[in-house]
Amino acid sequence: MKKRGRFFRNKLAQVWVETVIYTLIALVMIGLVLAYAKPKIEELQDRTIIEQSLSMMKDIDTTILTMGGSGNQRTLSVNIKRGDLKIDGINDRLVFEINSNYQYSEPGVPLADGNIIISTSESGSSYFTNLTRNYPDYNISYEGMNQIKTISQSATSYNFLISNKGGTPMNIDMEAS
């Protein structure tokens, strides 16, 4: 009778040891998959953000180019999930900058997408992507002043008021709220 109880206890212990070992193996496998998948997921997210930012820059550009006569105003909703949008009134340009894990273009080689110049540079193990739209035939300003204004990421959308103030070259004033 004693031998039978001992055998039962040994079997029960073996089942628990096997359960713990299988659980550890499963956790290691999940960890390995996540170690590979997480950077790829982050790259895809960064790629999507850069493409959305490029679309945002094109929307702003289209709005500026189709302003019409002096005194015309347009409101544009702009969502910046990551990165910074710089309204450069000194150099009459718009610049969007983002540091990401995704290599959007070949580092050091400018790429044109319509009127927007895309440049990527390596920054350690990540990449710095810059989207620039120059306006040589316009005078770009922010709140009536030729200054550099940085609009940073936000959980909510910005409402841009883009106004044609007239003049030669055409004065385009931007405000964000």
Q: What are the structure tokens assigned to 45, written together?
A: 């997210």
Assign residue 149 a region (left: φ > 0; alpha: ψ between -120 and 50; beta: otherwise). beta
* Distance, CA of 155 to CA of 175 (rounded, Å): 18
* Selection from 126, 147, 153 nearest residue 52 by Cα: 153
Could you give the C-alpha distances from 101 to 22, 39, 128, 157, in angstroms and in order?
35, 8, 9, 24
Q: What are the structure tokens assigned to 118, written together?
A: 């895309």
Domain boundaries, the chain: 2-176
pTM: 0.81
pLDDT tens track of the chain, all 177 residues? 445 555 556 777 788 888 899 999 999 999 988 888 888 999 999 999 999 999 999 999 999 999 888 889 999 999 999 999 999 999 999 999 999 999 999 999 999 999 999 999 998 889 999 999 999 999 999 999 999 999 999 999 999 999 999 888 899 999 998
